[in-house]
């Protein structure tokens, strides 16, 4: 099975790609000008900030770039395109031949190109409405080779790509759009214009099952373009015929050739490899670290600031406590919480609120001595030989024991649970 993707992501610029209209207007048709509505005589001027971000994305995806780039007009006739062509890149994209690593798997990136978004079309009560605010917004299109082989890899690829884009300030909360191509045989089927990670994965799953069924029944698979129907969770033949060869592409003579060799790319951050490094360095669960930092610059900043002074596990626990109970998310509050956790106490919601309001909190719970807890767990295990076996399957029994020890020693159950976990895992290694 081969899956390839074309992902479109909007760039975080103040203004559009070829004019000075704002990139952030909500009220329809308020951020428009002669250029982005394609009036005769209007001239595009390239937004350098968009160029720099697109270049940085291509570098973050390990692409190589030629010294210069230029733009082409992709000619087609549709109401979302007032000047009847979209300014895009074909022959000389901003980056090519890159890759993303998913563990030891490499997903190759064929190309990264910079282009303008068409307008947005809304169909309401039999009318077709057009919002030209979107017309001319900067987009990158990221095209992979068909290297993705499973649904799980597809999910991991999209998450990894989104995390890389997030750290380059791309708004990944705004759903990404993608075209999928999927082939289980020699025939390639495209599913176009899917919005959002969940829909992309659902569409892929449906399409894989559909093609498997056809193969099993010896029915030939048609080379075609399909669309994804979210309500039916199915892909549907859309009878679209255009391929790149059928569009007219011509050099955009309103624009020039741009030298990109002097652009300094923004330094990329790969949360997944950082999580791996931290995990190896401090022996903390890799997925717990990744969960904290994959889409959270603050958390990464906190870890970088405190890793030398406190245990990483305690930093991560403090971050998640603050996310759950806190209203502030600042360094001072976090450090206070870490210090309390380092003493073996887990603050509750009331404690966190008190810390945030600057009150001195009195910790009533006795500061636990881990050796004392370990001793208690040992005697519990020795008194019940089946506990080890049972604990693997019976969570209730385990929680009962944790609760009893916590009560007896007047310590927080989470601390007991942590000690028990580490004792059980060392026990497993011995066996
Ligand atoms: Zn404009």
Please report the DSSP string for 360-416 in residue order.
PPP--SPPPPHHHHHHHHHHHHHH-TTHHHHHHH-HHHHHHHHHHHHHHHT--HHHH
Report pLDDT for 324. 85
- Token code pair at residue 269: 């951050």
Whether residue 352 contacts residue 340, with contact meaning beta carbons closer than 8 Å, is answered with no
Q: How many residues does the chain have?
A: 431
Q: State the distance between the two ends of the chain, measured CA to CA, in whole angstroms.
A: 41
Report pLDDT for 431. 43
Report pLDDT for 239. 67
Rounded to the nearest angstrom, the distance between the alpha carbon of 137 and the centre of ligand 1 is: 9
Calpha distance 394→385 (Å, rounded): 14
Report pLDDT for 366. 47
Report pLDDT for 141. 97
Q: Give φ, ψ of 34 to 5 degrees.
A: -55, -35
Q: Which long-range contacts (CB under 8 A, 24 or more apart) does 261-268 make?
A: 261/67, 261/68, 263/51, 263/52, 263/55, 264/52, 265/52, 265/55, 265/56, 265/59, 265/60, 266/52, 266/53, 266/56, 266/168, 268/56, 268/59, 268/60, 268/164, 268/167, 268/168
Report pLDDT for 242. 52
Rounded to the nearest angstrom, the distance between the alpha carbon of 24 and the centre of ligand 1 is: 12
Rounded to the nearest angstrom, the distance between the alpha carbon of 31 and the centre of ligand 1 is: 6
Q: Tell me the torsion sign for CA atoms 23, 24, 26, 27.
A: negative
Rounded to the nearest angstrom, the distance between the alpha carbon of 71 and the centre of ligand 1 is: 18
Rounded to the nearest angstrom, the distance between the alpha carbon of 21 and the centre of ligand 1 is: 4
As residues whose CB is below 5 A from the ion ligand 1, the structure lists 19, 21, 33, 35-36
b (16+ CB within 10 A) / e for 147-159: bbeeeebbbbbbb
Report pLDDT for 306. 96
Calpha distance 346→337 (Å, rounded): 8
Specify the 3-state DSSP secondary structure of 175. coil
pLDDT tens digits along 236-247: 988 665 565 677
Which residue, among 206, 237, 208, has the nearest Cα to 224 in the 3D structure? 237
Specify the 3-state DSSP secondary structure of 6. strand
Calpha distance 118→18 (Å, rounded): 13
Report pLDDT for 244. 58
Q: Tell me the torsion sign for CA atoms 46, 48, 51, 53.
A: negative
Calpha distance 265→58 (Å, rounded): 9
Calpha distance 36→135 (Å, rounded): 6
- Token code pair at residue 76: 């087609």
Rounded to the nearest angstrom, the distance between the alpha carbon of 286 and the centre of ligand 1 is: 46
Describe the crossing of helices 297-306 and 271-282 by its angle, rounded to 10 degrees.
30
Calpha distance 342→282 (Å, rounded): 15
pLDDT tens digits along 151-205: 999 999 999 999 999 999 998 887 789 999 999 988 899 999 999 999 999 999 9
Report pLDDT for 330. 87
Indicate the burial class of 308 (C-beta count within 10 angstroms; 0-12, 13-18, 19 or more): exposed
Rounded to the nearest angstrom, the distance between the alpha carbon of 56 and the centre of ligand 1 is: 24
- pTM for the model stands at 0.84
| pLDDT-flagged residues of the chain (< 70) | 239-245, 360-369, 385, 387-389, 391-392, 425-431
Rounded to the nearest angstrom, the distance between the alpha carbon of 49 and the centre of ligand 1 is: 16
Calpha distance 334→315 (Å, rounded): 8
Rounded to the nearest angstrom, the distance between the alpha carbon of 16 and the centre of ligand 1 is: 7
Rounded to the nearest angstrom, the distance between the alpha carbon of 35 and the centre of ligand 1 is: 5
Report pLDDT for 426. 67
Cα dihedral 242, 246, 247, 251 in deg (nearest 10): 160
Rounded to the nearest angstrom, the distance between the alpha carbon of 23 and the centre of ligand 1 is: 9
Report pLDDT for 155. 96
User: Would you list the domain boundaries of the chain?
Assistant: 2-174+239-259, 271-356, 370-430
Rounded to the nearest angstrom, the distance between the alpha carbon of 83 and the centre of ligand 1 is: 13
Rounded to the nearest angstrom, the distance between the alpha carbon of 34 and the centre of ligand 1 is: 6
């Amino acid at each position: 099975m081969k899956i390839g993707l074309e992902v479109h992501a909007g760039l975080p610029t103040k203004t559009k790609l070829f004019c000075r209209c704002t990139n952030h207007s909500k009220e329809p048709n308020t951020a428009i000008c002669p250029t982005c509505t394609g009036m005769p005589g209007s001239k595009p001027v390239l937004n350098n900030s968009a160029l720099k971000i697109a270049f940085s994305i291509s570098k973050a995806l390990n692409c190589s770039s030629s010294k210069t780039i230029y733009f082409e007009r992709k000619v087609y006739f549709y109401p979302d395109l007032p000047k009847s062509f979209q300014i895009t890149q074909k022959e000389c994209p901003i980056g090519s031949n890159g890759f993303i690593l998913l563990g030891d798997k490499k997903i190759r990136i064929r190309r990264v190109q910079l282009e303008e978004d068409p307008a947005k079309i809304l169909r309401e009560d039999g009318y077709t409405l057009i919002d030209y605010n979107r017309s001319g917004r900067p987009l990158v299109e990221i095209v992979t080779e068909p290297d993705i082989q499973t649904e799980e890899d597809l999910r991991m690829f999209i998450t990894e790509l989104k995390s890389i884009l997030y750290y380059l300030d791309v708004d990944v909360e705004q759903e990404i759009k993608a075209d999928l191509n999927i082939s289980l045989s020699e025939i390639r089927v495209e599913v176009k214009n899917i919005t959002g990670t969940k829909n992309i994965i659902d569409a892929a799953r449906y399409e894989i099952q559909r093609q498997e069924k056809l193969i099993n029944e010896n029915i030939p698979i048609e080379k075609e373009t399909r669309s994804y129907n979210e309500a039916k969770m199915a892909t549907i033949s859309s009878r679209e015929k255009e391929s790149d060869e059928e569009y007219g592409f011509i050099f955009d003579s309103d624009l020039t050739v741009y030298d990109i060799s002097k652009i300094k790319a923004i330094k990329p951050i790969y949360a997944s490899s950082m999580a791996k490094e931290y995990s190896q360095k401090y022996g903390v669960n890799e997925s717990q670290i990744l969960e904290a930092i994959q889409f959270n610059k603050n958390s990464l900043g906190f870890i970088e600031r405190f890793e030398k002074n406190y245990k990483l596990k305690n930093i991560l626990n403090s971050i998640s406590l603050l996310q759950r109970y806190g209203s502030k998310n600042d360094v001072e509050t976090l450090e206070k919480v870490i210090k309390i956790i380092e003493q073996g106490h887990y603050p509750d919601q009331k404690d966190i609120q008190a810390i945030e309001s600057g009150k001195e909190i009195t910790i009533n719970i006795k500061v636990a001595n881990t050796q004392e807890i370990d001793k208690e767990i040992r005697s519990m295990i020795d008194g019940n030989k089946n506990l080890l076996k049972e604990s693997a399957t019976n969570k209730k029994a385990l929680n009962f024991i944790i609760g009893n020890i916590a009560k007896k020693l007047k310590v927080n159950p989470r601390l007991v649970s942590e000690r028990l976990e580490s004792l059980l895992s060392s026990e497993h290694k011995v066996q």
